[in-house]
């Protein structure tokens, strides 16, 4: 009887491990190798052209992938336009009149479908690959994107409002938010490093420069010329001093109290993440390496695979 129980426990553990392994490995870097071997090169060509034309587009494509994964997993739901059945995430507070890059995604989708001869690559996978290629185009690290995601047939503005980290979040709120998505403090710091590229709207940093004390006074004064107390909500400021280059300057800026967003400066404000910010400020190699790892980890947040979801014919609408 004892040996039978031992065998049952062993069998259960084996089956459980197999299920977990299968769920985690359902995404694969070579998912399209046979169905569309030119898929990734097609995505890269469009992204490189878009970033060369407008460097800000690199940050926009990276941000699209972030905001997509933080709602109901990396399922392309952020790309869906409003309709009678779709409460579009494009209208959520973190995205409305702020998120960009949808036209480039449309261009990528067209190019990939032509290369494949039919719709094979999901819009969710396009976002994941485009985010990686954008980082590379701006001098950042590369990584193997795990593929095989399928596209959501729904979207949720409410979920987007609730799950996308806000620029006014405290450190504890940021940690809690990332933890709810299976990401730890290291992931929080290193993925926030994505703010080494791109720009922020005045409306997202006004409270920080006028109300917070943990900001370099001269830096704050400079930002006030860009962002008055009233009006100018869409005026832009670079998220770090080298906004068109993927480097570690973002972390150096935080150490000198020059974080644009309240949530950015919270990462270096006497809390548990200070040490990581210091490390990445002088070790760009470590930042690049860890960023790649965390991007892979984020890309695995609740993907739709197998028979779930669909491969959209048009990234803006369900089939």
List the catalytic residues: 67
HSE (side-chain half, CA atoms, 13 Å) at 138:
31
Q: How far is CA 91 from CA 125, 155, 180, in A?
A: 22, 11, 23
Lookup: tokens for 20: 């977990």
Could you identify the residue written with the tokens 């720009």? 199
With residue 192 as reference, give the H or E element that holds it.
helix 185-192
Instruction: Tell whether 71 is in a known binding site.
Output: yes
Check whether 15 is labelled as a binding-site residue: no
Has 89 been labeled as part of a binding site? yes
148 is in an annotated binding site: no
- Check whether 68 is labelled as a binding-site residue: yes
- Within a 10 A sphere around the Cβ of 286, how many other Cβ atoms? 14
Tokens at 291, concatenated: 């960023």
> Residue 93 and residue 189: Cα distance in Å, rounded?
23
Q: Give the Cα separation of 35 and 55 in Å (integer).
A: 32
The reply to whether 77 sits in an annotated binding site is: yes
Q: Is 208 known as a binding-site position?
A: no
The DSSP code sequence of 220-234 is: HHHHHHHS-SSS-TT
Q: Which residues contact 260 (CB under 8 A, 6 or more apart)?
A: 195, 200, 205, 208, 223, 237, 238, 239, 240
Q: How many whole angstroms separate alpha carbon 205 and alpha carbon 237?
A: 9
Q: Please state, in angstroms and rounded to a whole number, the distance separating the CA atoms of residues 175 and 182.
A: 11
Is 193 annotated as a binding-site member? no
Rounded distance between C-alpha atoms, residue 284 and residue 303, angstroms: 30
Q: How far apart are CA 188 and CA 267, in angstroms?
A: 9
Closest CA to 194 of 54, 58, 49, 73: 58
196 labeled binding residue: yes
Residue 29 annotated in ligand binding: no
- Look at phi and psi of residue 257 and say left if phi exceeds 0, alpha if psi is from -120 to 50, else beta: left
Query: According to the annotation, is 198 in a ligand binding site?
Result: no
Q: What is the residue whose two structure tokens read 């690199």?
A: 58
Q: Which residues are annotated as a binding site for heme b?
A: 195
Q: Which residues are annotated as a binding site for Ca(2+)?
A: 68, 71, 73, 75, 77, 89, 196, 240, 247
Q: Which residues are annotated as a binding site?
A: 68, 71, 73, 75, 77, 89, 165, 195-196, 240, 247
Q: Which residues are annotated as a binding site for substrate?
A: 165
């Amino acid at each position: 009887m004892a040996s039978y129980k031992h065998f049952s426990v062993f069998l259960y553990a084996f089956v459980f491990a197999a299920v977990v392994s299968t769920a985690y490995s359902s995404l694969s870097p070579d998912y399209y190798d046979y169905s569309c071997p030119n898929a990734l090169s097609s995505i890269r060509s469009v992204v490189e052209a878009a970033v060369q034309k407008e460097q800000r587009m690199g940050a926009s494509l990276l941000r699209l992938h972030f905001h997509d994964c933080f709602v109901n997993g990396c399922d392309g739901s952020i790309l869906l336009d409003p309709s009678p059945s779709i409460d579009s995430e494009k209208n959520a507070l973190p995205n409305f009149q702020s998120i960009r890059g949808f036209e480039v995604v449309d261009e990528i989708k067209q190019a990939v479908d032509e290369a494949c001869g039919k719709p094979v690559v999901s819009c969710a996978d396009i976002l994941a690959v485009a985010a990686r290629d954008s980082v590379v185009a701006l001098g950042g690290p590369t990584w193997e994107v795990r593929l095989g995601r399928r596209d959501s047939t729904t979207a949720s503005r409410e979920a987007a409002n609730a799950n996308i980290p806000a620029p006014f979040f405290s450190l504890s709120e940021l940690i809690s938010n990332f933890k709810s998505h299976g990401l730890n403090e290291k992931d929080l710091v290193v993925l926030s490093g994505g703010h080494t590229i791109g720009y922020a709207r005045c409306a997202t940093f006004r409270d920080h420069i006028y109300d917070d004390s943990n900001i370099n006074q001269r830096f704050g004064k400079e930002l006030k010329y860009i962002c008055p107390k009233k009006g100018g909500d869409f005026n832009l400021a670079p998220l770090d001093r080298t906004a068109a280059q993927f480097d570690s300057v973002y972390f150096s800026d935080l150490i000198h109290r020059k974080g644009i967003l309240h949530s950015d400066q919270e990462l270096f404000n006497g809390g548990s993440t200070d040490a990581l910010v210091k490390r990445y400020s002088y070790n760009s190699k470590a930042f690049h390496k860890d960023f790649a790892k965390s991007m892979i980890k984020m890309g695995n947040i609740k993907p739709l695979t197998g028979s779930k979801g669909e491969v959209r014919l048009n990234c803006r609408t369900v089939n």
